[in-house]
Structure 1
Amino acid sequence: MVRDRGNGQAFIGSFTSSGGHGIIAAEVDDETGALTVQGTTDVVADPSYLALAPDGSVLYTVSETEEGAAAAFRIPAPGAPDQALLLMGRPVAVSGSSPTHLALASGHLLTANYGSGSVTALPLRSDGGLDAPARVFRHQGSGPHPDRQCGPHAHQVLTDPSGRWIVSVDLGTDSVRVCALDAASGTLTAHSETALRAGSGPRHLAFHPAGSHAYVLNELEPTLTICRWDARQGVLEAVAETPVLPADAGTDSYASEVVVSHDGRYVWTANRGHDSISVLSLDGTREKAELITTVGCGGRWPRDLALDPAGRRLYAANEHSGDVTWFDIDPRTGIPAPAGAIEVPAASCVIFGRPAAPSSGIRAPEAVTEPYGA
C-alpha cells in the first residue's frame, strides 16, 4: 500500500531471510521527518537495496540471493484506486551472485554483484520494466585479507555526477573501476582503475556535490579515502586517507555507508559494530576531512545511512536491532540528533520518493545540479 497525503514518501529494504518484511512503503512527515508505514510486499526475496526511476514511477530492487536477481515495481499515482506496489513481471536474473547495490544509467539497470565480483547491465523496457539479456562485466583481482579478499567483490555501482561514467567499488580488490556504458548494447568497457591501500576493503563512495571529488568508505579498516575526480578524463585519484572513528574505538567495526551534505561541508559515515554515525568536516580544498565526533546510530548494525531530499535529516537502517532511526542535523555543526524511530525488522536501506525543497540550513549550492536519486 502506498498513499500520499501531501507529505513525502520513502521506501525501505529489508532481508526476508532474516525476518524482514521485504519492501516497506512509508509516508514521510515533511515537518518532523517521522516515518509512517503504509504497507509492505515480500514477493521478492532479500530486497536489500533499492533505486527509484527519475520520474518516481518505478521502484527497482536487487534480490541479494546466491542466484542473484533484480525486479521492478510500478508505483501507483497518488489517488489511484489500487495503491499497492505492482511487480512488473518476474524478477530477472543478473547472471551474478549476491547483488548488493544498483543504479540506473542510459536505459539500463546496473547491479553490483558482491558474490561473483561483477557488474551487470539489464536493459529497461519502454514502460520501465526489466528486460534481458544481461550483460556482465567481470572484475579481476584479489587482496591481502585471507577471508574477505580471495577474489573480487563488487559492492557498489553508480554513475558519476556528469553521467558519462559508470563507477564500481570493489571490496575484494581494493580498487575502484571506471567504465563506459554502451547505451545500445549494454556493454561495459573498462576505462580506468584506481588502486587503494591494500587491505582497506573499499565498500561505497559518495561524490562531492561540486563533482570534483569523491569519498571512498573502507569497510575492512574504518577509514575514508579522499579522491580527486576528473570527469573529463574519467580518472579517480586518491590523495589522502583519514580515520572515521576515534583511536580508542576498537577493532570490531565495519563501516557501511558514506553520505556528503548538500553544501559539501560535511561527510557522515555509518559504522557497524561501533554502532555509530561519524561526523567529518571538509575544508575548502575538499581534500582534508576532520573527524568531529561520533553519535549513536539509535540501534545496532547500521547497514545504510540516507540523507533526506531536503538535506535536513539522516536516516539509519539498523539491521540487527530492526529499526530505522532518523536524526535532525544541526546546520551549524553537521551533528545529527536523534528525533525518532520505527520498527523495521532486518532493515537494510532507505530511499526517498518525491523530493522536497532544500531547507535554509544545509542546502545544495545553486550552481550544482544533481539528478534526483543519483
Structure 2
Amino acid sequence: MTDAIPQVSEHGAVWWGTYPEAGLGTPSGLGEGLWRQTAADAHLALELPTPSFVVAHPDRALLYAISETDDTEVHAIDVSDPEQPRVVSTVLTGGASGCHLLLSGDARTLYVSHYMSGDLAVVQLDEQGMPLADVPAQVFGHEGSGPREDRQEASHAHSAGFGPGGHHVLVADLGTDELRRYAIQQDGLLEDHGIAATLPPGAGPRHFAVRGEWIYVLSELDHRLRALRWDAASGTAAVVFDIASTTAPQRTGDEINDSHVLLATDDVLLLGVRGCDVISVVDLSPEGEPRYRGCFDAGHWPRHFAVVGDRLHVGAERGHEVRTFALADVLALPPEPEVGHIATLPFSTAPLPSPACVVAHPA
C-alpha cells in the first residue's frame, strides 16, 4: 500500500452510496447515505436510507440514488452545491429492494431493477432531469425460479443494461438464470419481448458488460464469466465462451459471490469476486474470447468499482474502506505466475462505512 496515489483527481470528486454500517440486511436509516470523496478527504454529505446504487445525469448537477428498502424509492439529488446536496424529488417505484439504476443515453428515462420483487420499473424524466411523476410509468414483473432454493426461490432482477445495438433493455435475473428482454420505444417506455438468453441452471447472472455483438455476463452463484454472442435478427444471445471468474481461493465469508463486471478498456474486462476478495483482469481477443490473466487484492468484499479518468475506485464493503488504484497499474498486471496467485498493487485508501456504489461527479 502507498499514499503516493491521490484518492481522486484534484479536479473532481466521486460520490459513494453506502449501506448501513452494520451491513446489508440490517435496519436502514441509521446514518448511511451519500459520501463525497475528494483529493482531501471522504465525508458524509447527505443521509439517505440505504442508497446502494447511484448514477449521474450527464449534463446537469443531478444524481439519482436508489434506496434499497422494502418500499423502494428513487431520489433525484441536486449537487450544484456539492457541500450541501439536497433531495429535490422522490419516486416510489412499486418494488422491493431496488438495487440498480440504468439511465438512458438521452437522460430521459431511468430503469430500476428490484432484487426481492424481481420488478423492472420505468421512470420518465423531463428535460431538466426531474421525474415526470411520483410513480413509475411502467412496472414489469416476472415469474420463475432456479435450482438454488436459498437464492433462486423467485425472480431477482439484479441489474439492467442496454443490449448490443441499443434497441433493448436486458435484465440480469439472478433468480431465474435469464436475461430478460424489453424493446425500447421512442419515448423510452418498454415492451416486454420475453427472454433473450437462458444461462445454465444455478448460474445466477448478476451484472453484464457489452462490447460490439458480445455480452459478457458475470454470474454470482457459479462464479463464471460467459461470453454470449448477440443475434440482432432474433434478439437473442447464445453462450460461446465460458471461463472461471478467478483462480484465487476463497479467503473470507461463507461463500464466494461474484459482484461486478466492468469494461475498463475495449479489450480488458475487470471482474469483482467477493470472498476471494479480488478483482480479476480478463483480456478480450478481437474475436470476443475472454482470457483470464490474473487478479489482485481489492480489499474485503469488493462490491462495486468504476474507472474515473486514470484511476480505478473500489468499494470494499465489509472492509469499510475505498481503495484507489492507478489504472495503468491495473492494466499492466502481469499474467499469474502460478494458479491462484493474488497480486498486490499500490493503492491509496480512505475509511468509509459499507461502500456499495461509486459514481463520478456530474459535469
Give yes or no for TM over 0.5. Answer: yes
Q: Distance in 1 between matches of 2:248 and 2:319?
A: 26
- Map 1:201-212 onto structure 2 (within 5 A): 201-208=204-211, 211-212=212-213
SS in 1 for 2:189: coil
Q: For the structure 1 residues 45 and 332, does the alpha-carbon distance in structure 2 shift closer, same or farther, using more than 3 Å as the test?
A: closer
Matched AA of 1:325: R
Q: For the structure 1 residues 71 and 283, does the alpha-carbon distance in structure 2 shift closer, same or farther, using more than 3 Å as the test?
A: same
1:342 aligns with 2:344: no
User: How far apart are residue 96 of structure 1 and its match?
Assistant: 0.5
SS in 2 for 1:120: strand
Q: Percent identity?
A: 29
Q: Deviations over 1:23-65 (max 9, x none)?
A: 11223x5xxxxx73265101x2100000111214210011100
User: For residue 285 of structure 1, what is the aligned residue in structure 2?
Assistant: 287
User: For residue 40 of structure 1, what is the aligned residue in structure 2?
Assistant: 45
1:84 aligns with 2:84: yes
Q: Deviations over 1:98-139 (max 9, x none)?
A: 000001126221110000011000121342122243211112
User: How far apart are residue 97 of structure 1 and its match?
Assistant: 0.3
User: How far apart are residue 235 of structure 1 and its match?
Assistant: 2.8
Q: Which runs of 5+ in 2 are unaligned?
A: 1-7, 23-29, 335-343
Matched AA of 2:148: H
- Map 1:76-225 onto structure 2 (within 5 A): 76=80, 83-89=83-89, 91-105=90-104, 107-130=108-131, 131-134=133-136, 135-160=138-163, 162-184=165-187, 186-208=189-211, 211-225=212-226
TM-score by length of 2: 0.84
TM-score by length of 1: 0.82
Q: Which runs of 5+ in 1 are unaligned?
A: 30-34, 356-374
User: For residue 337 of structure 2, what is the aligned residue in structure 1?
Assistant: none
Q: Distance in 1 between matches of 2:271 and 2:244?
A: 11
After TM superposition, where is structure 1 displaced by more than 6 Å over at least 4 residues in a row?
none
Q: Distance in 2 between matches of 1:119 and 1:198?
A: 22
User: For residue 52 of structure 1, what is the aligned residue in structure 2?
Assistant: 56
User: For residue 71 of structure 1, what is the aligned residue in structure 2?
Assistant: 75
User: For residue 371 of structure 1, what is the aligned residue in structure 2?
Assistant: none
Paired residue total: 333
**Over aligned residue pairs, what C-alpha RMSD do you find?**
2.5
Mapped contact 1:303–1:349 kept (Cα < 8 A): yes
Q: Distance in 2 between matches of 1:185 and 1:348?
A: 27
User: For residue 365 of structure 1, what is the aligned residue in structure 2?
Assistant: none
Matched AA of 1:276: V
Q: Distance in 1 between matches of 2:12 and 2:101?
A: 22
The structure 1 residue matched to 2:17, chosen from 5, 13, 17, is 13
User: For residue 319 of structure 1, what is the aligned residue in structure 2?
Assistant: 317
Q: Deviations over 1:305-340 (max 9, x none)?
A: 2122x3x33221111111111112337634682320
Q: Distance in 1 between matches of 2:249 and 2:258?
A: 16
Mapped contact 2:259–2:273 kept (Cα < 8 A): yes
Q: Deviations over 1:256-289 (max 9, x none)?
A: 001122232x2111111111111122222112x2
After superposing the two structures, state which structure 1 stretch, 164-173 or 240-249, moved more.
240-249
After superposing the two structures, state which structure 1 stretch, 277-286 or 95-104, moved more.
277-286
Q: Distance in 2 between matches of 1:331 and 1:318?
A: 17
Q: Distance in 2 between matches of 1:159 and 1:58?
A: 22
User: For residue 306 of structure 1, what is the aligned residue in structure 2?
Assistant: 306
Q: Distance in 1 between matches of 2:186 and 2:77?
A: 23
- Map 1:19-30 onto structure 2 (within 5 A): 21-27=32-38, 29=39
Q: Distance in 1 between matches of 2:291 and 2:100?
A: 28
Matched AA of 1:292: R
Matched AA of 1:326: T
SS in 1 for 2:167: coil
Q: Distance in 2 between matches of 1:223 and 1:54?
A: 32
User: How far apart are residue 191 of structure 1 and its match?
Assistant: 4.9
Structure of higher RCO (CA pairs closer than 8 Å, 6+ residues apart): 2
SS in 1 for 2:347: strand
User: How far apart are residue 12 of structure 1 and its match?
Assistant: 0.6
Matched AA of 2:99: T
User: How far apart are residue 229 of structure 1 and its match?
Assistant: 2.7
1:328 aligns with 2:326: yes
Q: For the structure 1 residues 247 and 128, does the alpha-carbon distance in structure 2 shift closer, same or farther, using more than 3 Å as the test?
A: closer
Q: Distance in 1 between matches of 2:312 and 2:94?
A: 34
Q: Distance in 1 between matches of 2:213 and 2:280?
A: 22
SS in 2 for 1:88: strand
